């Protein structure tokens, strides 16, 4: 589906997006958009719309595996803390 | 550049591990270095929070206290890395690390992100596990 319309900039440079275009993209008040300007084209793209279908799914096993693999031995932890202390000096 | 000034982008795997355990490398890194995530990563973490015993709201609060949240990359930006990833749903992580000009992408996902292809595509950005980063200090 494509929506095409002609609109006019206000004195302050603000632009009202047509309702149909907002509805199509699910844009609501305070939505963040990215504006990309090239020589003769302006693209307005929602950037914070994260559809659930775009997100990854992780199993309980995967997450448990990450938590387990991430564990530090006492020596590794001591080593890392010493290095971090040196970095903050 | 000094390591303490590095910009670090976190994958969901690292955040979930950090929230799930205070005794891992992820927790140490996240609570020590200024880290960055995207809105997409935040949404993934909130979605999976119950699997580490937290509600979505608790996960949201945890992240807002500890990391900076930036916009998810645009579709055009993501397309640049479409051929690099095995699963198209991983592309937002790679694109976000690249377009936010970070020094390190931290992940625990060996199968999808700690791959030669991703490392090559993101170079000079380093793709590491939290443990690997701690060893490099």
Q: What is the pLDDT of residues A5-56, one digit of tens each?
A: 888 999 999 999 989 888 887 777 777 777 888 889 988 877 666 778 889 9
Predicted confidence at residue A56, as pLDDT, reads 95
Task: Record the pTM.
Answer: 0.78
Predicted confidence at residue A49, as pLDDT, reads 61
A residues 8-47 lying closer than 8 A (beta carbon) to B: 32, 34, 36, 45, 47
Domains belonging to chain B, first-starting first, are: 3-136 (3.40.50.1010)
Element containing residue A6 per DSSP (H, E): none
CB pairs under 8 A between A and B: 104
* Residue predicted with more confidence, A45 or B134: B134
B39 touching chain A per CB within 8 A: yes
Tell the residue number behind the tokens 């900039």, with chain if given.
A9
Q: What percent of chain B has pLDDT over 90?
A: 85
With CA atoms as reference, the chain B residue closest to A72 would be B24
**B72, A88: Cβ pair inside 8 Å?**
no
Prior bond of B39 cis (ω within 30°):
no
What lies within 8 Å, CB to CB, of B3 at 6+ separation is: A87, B136, B137
Q: Assess whether pLDDT exceeds 90 at residue B67.
A: yes
């Amino acid at each position: 589906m494509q929506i095409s319309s002609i609109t006019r900039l206000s004195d302050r440079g603000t632009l009202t997006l047509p309702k149909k275009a907002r509805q199509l993209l699910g844009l609501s008040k305070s939505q963040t958009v990215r504006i990309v300007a090239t020589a003769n084209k302006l693209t307005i793209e929602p950037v914070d719309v994260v559809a659930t279908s775009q997100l990854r799914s992780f199993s309980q096993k995967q997450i448990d595996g990450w938590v387990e693999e991430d564990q530090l031995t006492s020596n590794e932890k001591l080593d890392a803390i010493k290095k971090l202390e040196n970095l903050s000096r | 550049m000094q390591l303490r000034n590095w910009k670090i982008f976190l994958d969901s795997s690292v955040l979930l591990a950090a929230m799930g355990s205070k005794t891992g490398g992820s927790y140490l890194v996240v609570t020590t270095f200024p880290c960055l995530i995207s809105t997409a990563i935040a949404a993934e973490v909130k979605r999976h929070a119950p699997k580490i015993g937290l509600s979505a709201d608790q996960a949201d609060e945890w992240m807002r206290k500890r990391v900076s949240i930036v916009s998810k990359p645009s579709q055009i930006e993501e397309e640049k890395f479409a051929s690099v990833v095995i699963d198209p749903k991983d592309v937002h992580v790679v694109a976000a690390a690249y377009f936010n000009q970070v020094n390190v992408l931290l992940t625990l996902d060996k199968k999808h992100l700690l791959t030669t292809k991703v490392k090559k595509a993101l170079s000079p950005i380093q793709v590491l596990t939290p443990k690997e980063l701690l060893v490099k200090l």
